[in-house]
Structure 1
Amino acid sequence: MSLRIAICGVHIESSTFSPHLSGTADFEVTRGQALLARYGWLAEPWAAGVEWVPIVHARALPGGAVEPAAYDAWRAEIVEGLSDGTFDGVLLDIHGAMSVVGRQDAEGDLITAVRSVIGPEPLVSAAMDLHGNVSPTLFAGCDLLTCYRTAPHVDVWETRERAARNLVEALRRGGRPHKALVHVPILLPGEMTSTRVEPARGLYARIPEIEARPGVIDAAVWIGFAWADEPRCTGAVVATGTDAAATEQAARELGQAFWDARDDFAFVAPTGSMDECLDAALKDGSARPYFISDSGDNPGAGGADDVTYALERMLARPEIRDGSVRAVYASLYDPEAVAAVSHLPVGSPVSVRAGGRVDTRPPGPLLLEGTLEALADDPDGGLVAGVRIGGLSVFLTSRRMQYRLLESYRRLGVDVAEVDVVAVKIGYLEPELFEAAADWMLALTPGGVDQDLHRLPYRNLKRPIFPLDQDAALDLSPR
């Protein structure tokens, strides 16, 4: 059976509490053969006999809400591409937590646009991040939905392959899959739901057994996205299958398990203010290297990446300023600051203001007076600079980036194994940092992805929702 399947999507996680705006320049856009080349499973036997048609895929580091003109252009390109002939199915490669300025439910808008051109008959399969959201509109427009099962996400490509394989198998089987959605009124930051620890580890460990049951195709649990103020932001469970009763039972069972675990979710590491984290890191006998997550401005969740609060607290420590403690701060997004020092030879004295240009909350731009320690080109951060102040190396970047890979530190001459304290704008530590850290804490710092959800000015969430509201209640009636 010859099948024709389109591939398209817009993939970004957007904090509506971040002043950063995500524009065209923030996205990596792939089309044509370059888009098909992303997917290694196209050569697998199950994918044979399928004409995979690349439309367009745009992907960006998490950030603020997307500028409408950028989103509208990609949506129009997707619609135009889908108008070129007929399709048996569409693989929708998305995140699920994109926000567009002035609108709500961006992915719901995207699936509505897709359906407007392909009609009701072709099957649509969505591959998503578990920190995405499943709105009623997105659920109604898709026939199959699946998401990552790990956080940190080490199964990204496995998830995309599963979504594609489920789609091909459903088309060859014929008929429409049954599907069931249970919204779970829980809203938690990802740093409380890592699958490294319970209860998320046990919750996601149940999926393979449920998925293997007769009549079930897939089961998926979405934590939801805590840093967008939209009604769709909530936990969700979706099951798909060939048997209606088995599919509904799978959704109910996982939804109940998620709800029953609500009081057990806790931060994946010890937490404290930035000063409390520094106290622990600088204490005699603390393990080295000691990592501190500057979590409130984590660009990996949508933070502006230039809040200077945590850096100011580090510079206030005499043992860091006088060089008796070796430390790293990674990083501040500030192309102006990088440009101001980039013409200087390494080793030159520098005096430059950095940070606080996008997210202007106190203390704002900081004056960095020290030595230009390194310059490098980074595939994520563009031209980057290291400024040494006493024992502290401050990384400045031309593009927003997350210092999650050790190679990024090495480009600026830093081996983290030789550092006492590493402060990094991140939430839970990504795998390489987790392995490198002798110990770590999560600093509850201010920013567009503040871990203390009670400090965020929600206006549009569907309430009540746990833990913001203790009277939240679960409705197990599936859609």
Structure 2
Amino acid sequence: MTAPRIAVGGFMHETNTFAPAPAEYAAFEHGGGFPPMSRGAEIFARLPGKNTGLSGFIGAAGQKGWEVLPTLWCAASPSAHVTEDAFERILTEMLDRLAALGPVDAVYLDLHGAMVTTHQDDGEGEVEARVRALIGPDVPLLVSLDLHGNVTRRMVEEADALVAYRTYPHVDMADTGRRAADVLAARMAAGRPFAKAFRQIPFLMPIAWQCTEMEPCKTLYRQLEEIERGMGLAHLSFLPGFPAADFADCGGSVVAYADTQEKADAGADALTALICAQEDAFAGEALAPEEGVRKAMAIAAGASRPVVISDTQDNPGAGGTSDTTGMLRALVACGATRAALGLMVDPQAATSAHAAGVGAEVTLKLGGKSGIPGDTPFEGTFTVEALSDGTFDATGPYFGKGPMFLGRSACLRIEGVRVVVASRKAQLADQAMFRYVGIEPTEQAILVNKSSVHFRADFTPIAETILVCTAPGSMPLSPASLPWKHLRPGVRLAPNGPAFA
């Protein structure tokens, strides 16, 4: 019996349409904390062992005896829109490589679910539609998604199934690829498409409170698995959505698949009702910068482990620029000691530090160069404590063990505060992102991470407690504060917040 021929590829971007900087082709070539753009056999060299959907799918496909046919895989750090040039170049190459493979038995795509381009609101829907046009209506098309995907009806219609992550921090990206392989196996064994059900949640959920290590998502995802198993569904996904993409379908959703429409509808309705009943719980406590630092200092005075502060509104994992200075100002103004902040992305400052050398003092205008309202460069004299070329291995569960490339980097100290300065953007979600410039995170009293939730995977085990602070940034904690123009009418802009008109 001939092994099934499964074509695979990936094209991942989370788009914050309110962010200042677009994603150009070069951003996908670099990868932004994930492997660089990989073609053909390069996928087998770079992806296995990484925490990505395609990595998990490849491993599961091998166990099932499938022949995996790689096309192209790429990802870029979240930012503003993907440029038309980048989107068309990448998708055209992926389609050309897919066409060159000849007839295939199925296609698996590792997508994000919240891509908006300068010419397409529904990036993933367009990717799926063009792949579908190439392979025809009968070849199964399976797609894995980030749980921050903003699912559209077009995405649901074009794919045989959408399989989303179930953890945030996303420690199960590879596991999701394996789940997608199981769903694909069931689809091929059935010989016909699943019945589908799609529901949209009527309110936007702030990403800081979507964490699956906390309520309400901790319980909701357990209930999801109970519904999926108890109702005999082929698959069930809940996507809280990415609440910073200004188009009609932004927001949370549920998708269900089963052998009958009755089952699919029942599963989707049951989970949607549970989610809506928890609307109050999708709001949490956040602190102003100096308020948060003072609270952290008070806790740290009697603690043996660091207090970790999330600089949530400058989260590069949600389109932030990773260069705002509000939390740095608060640390210095409050006289914090044994404190460290990362990453501050400022190539000019990193270059100046390298030119000055270890031990030198440099006077800089650090960060604050992105034009974020309420943010300006931090002017001060810093001591250069360490330098790095920015190449090191991640060690934590989010990025997965493997190399990172942050460009010319430095550890700069001002009074009792150390700052990790890098030339390339990636959210501070791994302890190694402090250690590569000589900062041991476990020995600090206060750590400030430019990340909303992903840092929790590697930092919760070493943290005395975790606080959330709201310094100026391009990803406001409350979606209601964004200048929406294109949402669907009636969706609430925050839990129990005003409805978009």
Q: Taking structure 2 as the reference length, what is the TM-score of the superposition?
A: 0.88
The 3 A distance-change label for structure 1 pair 87 and 359 is farther
Counterparts in 2 of 1:172-321, with a 5 A limit?
172-213=189-230, 215-267=232-284, 270-283=285-298, 285=301, 287=303, 288-317=305-334, 319-320=335-336
The aligned residue for residue 355 of structure 2 is 343
Instruction: Judge conservation of contact 1:307–1:359 (CA < 8 Å) in 2.
Output: no
Pick the aligned partner of 1:70 from 86, 89, 110: 86
SS in 2 for 1:21: coil
Structure 2 unaligned blocks of 5 or more: 29-35, 48-54, 391-403
- Aligned counterparts of 1:41 and 1:78: Cα–Cα separation in 2: 18
SS in 2 for 1:83: helix
Q: Are residue 167 (structure 1) and residue 193 (structure 2) matched?
A: no
Counterparts in 2 of 1:406-421, with a 5 A limit?
406-421=431-446
Instruction: Judge conservation of contact 1:307–1:361 (CA < 8 Å) in 2.
Output: no
Deviation at residue 256 of structure 1 after TM alignment: 1.2
- Aligned pairs, number: 466
Deviation at residue 102 of structure 1 after TM alignment: 4.2
After the TM superposition, which segments of 4 or more aligned residues of structure 1 sit over 6 Å from their partners? none
The aligned residue for residue 33 of structure 2 is none
SS in 2 for 1:373: strand
The aligned residue for residue 32 of structure 1 is 40
- Aligned counterparts of 2:240 and 2:444: Cα–Cα separation in 1: 35
- Aligned counterparts of 1:470 and 1:198: Cα–Cα separation in 2: 17
Structure 1 unaligned blocks of 5 or more: 474-479
SS in 2 for 1:167: helix
- Aligned counterparts of 1:86 and 1:68: Cα–Cα separation in 2: 29
SS in 2 for 1:220: strand
Instruction: Judge conservation of contact 1:372–1:387 (CA < 8 Å) in 2.
Output: yes
The 3 A distance-change label for structure 1 pair 45 and 274 is closer
Q: Which amino acid aligns with 1:114?
A: V
The one-character-per-residue Cα deviations of 1:129-182 (angstroms, maximum 9, x if unpaired) are 111111011111011111111111111101011112211331133111111111
The aligned residue for residue 342 of structure 2 is 330
The 3 A distance-change label for structure 1 pair 124 and 359 is farther
Q: Are residue 393 (structure 1) and residue 418 (structure 2) matched?
A: yes
The 3 A distance-change label for structure 1 pair 415 and 65 is same
RMSD (CA atoms): 2.1
- Aligned counterparts of 2:324 and 2:119: Cα–Cα separation in 1: 24
Deviation at residue 418 of structure 1 after TM alignment: 1.9
Instruction: Judge conservation of contact 1:20–1:359 (CA < 8 Å) in 2.
Output: no
Instruction: Judge conservation of contact 1:334–1:355 (CA < 8 Å) in 2.
Output: yes
Q: Are residue 425 (structure 1) and residue 450 (structure 2) matched?
A: yes
Q: Which amino acid aligns with 1:273?
A: A
Pick the aligned partner of 1:460 from 477, 486, 494: 486
Q: Which amino acid aligns with 2:20?
A: P
Q: More deviation in 201-210 or 40-49?
A: 40-49
Pick the aligned partner of 2:409 from 351, 366, 384: 384
Q: Taking structure 1 as the reference length, what is the TM-score of the superposition?
A: 0.92
Pick the aligned partner of 1:374 from 386, 402, 406: 386
Deviation at residue 438 of structure 1 after TM alignment: 0.7
SS in 2 for 1:466: coil
SS in 2 for 1:369: strand
SS in 2 for 1:396: strand
- Aligned counterparts of 1:155 and 1:418: Cα–Cα separation in 2: 29
Q: Which amino acid aligns with 2:381?
A: E
